[in-house]
Amino acid sequence: MRLYLASTSPARRALLAQTGIEPVLVDPGVDEDAAVAAHEATLGRRLTGPELVSLLAVAKASAVADAAVAGRGVDGFVFGGDSAFEVDGTLYGKPHDPEVARERWRQMLAVGGGTLWSGRCVLDRRADRPGTGDGTAHRPGGAGRAGTVPPGRQVPTSTAGDGLIAEVTPGGSAMVADGDRVAAVDSAVLTFADDVSDDEIDAYVASGEPLEVAGAFTIDGRAAAYITRIDGAPSAVVGLSLPVLRSMLLRGFGATWHDLWSM
């Protein structure tokens, strides 16, 4: 069974590869800033962390699901993901600029840590999925049910009625299944070392590593030495929560993790 990854992230591909899954990487081509700005203009307010990452995860997966890949339609599951780091009520994406990254690290260290929000979306585009071509609607298999996260706790969604996940307890996760789509938000609370110096910050920023990653750090790179504690799935901090993805496939579509293994 094929997994299409709506991302060109080497870290996400490597994370899947080490579990036995070789995804098809596809650039979703989503203008993230424009998508967020348009949604916030509609709501008349800023998006919460869970809303923002679930919005972009759905947008990325949807862009790939309806596209032609190597001249052919998609046949398999499509995964889209996005992350944002929240520090003291402020959401941070990729800093891009060295001075922005440097100042962000000073803020994060002053507070002591933050919450990494990870949005996830899986779309079922299997050519032989249940309900395809017989006039019946596909419904999720497994334990997934629209509007719930197993074992049955109600999941708050956006007040705008757009199905985005609005609230998740820091360090926890939530999932919503709806037809051929399952969306989820996972989170991890990170604690930074309390003795990181300005020289260390300057050296890390100069490496270029923090410029194009959410929150200006990577747990699987040079910043690992500055992070003392993670409450949540470590893989979520890398960019793809493997336990949540497994649960989405199983509870949403009745698909097992080993179905995706490259044999």
**Residues identified as active-site:** 82
Q: How far is CA 200 from CA 45, 88, 119, 135, 195, in A?
A: 37, 22, 30, 61, 10
Segment holding 102, helix H or strand E = helix 98-111
Distance CA 140, CA 163 (A): 16
For residue 23, the one-letter residue type is P
List Cα–Cα distances, 115 to 124, 132, 186, 209, 228, in angstroms: 29, 40, 10, 20, 14
CA gap 235, 60 in Å, rounded: 20
Four-residue CA torsion sign, 206, 222, 57, 16:
positive
- For the record, the structure tokens of 80 come out as 């889209």
Phi and psi, residue 141, nearest 5°: -95, -165
- Angle at which helices 98-111 and 198-206 pack, to 10 degrees? 140
C-alpha distance from residue 262 to each of 42, 173, 242, 253 (Å):
43, 28, 16, 19
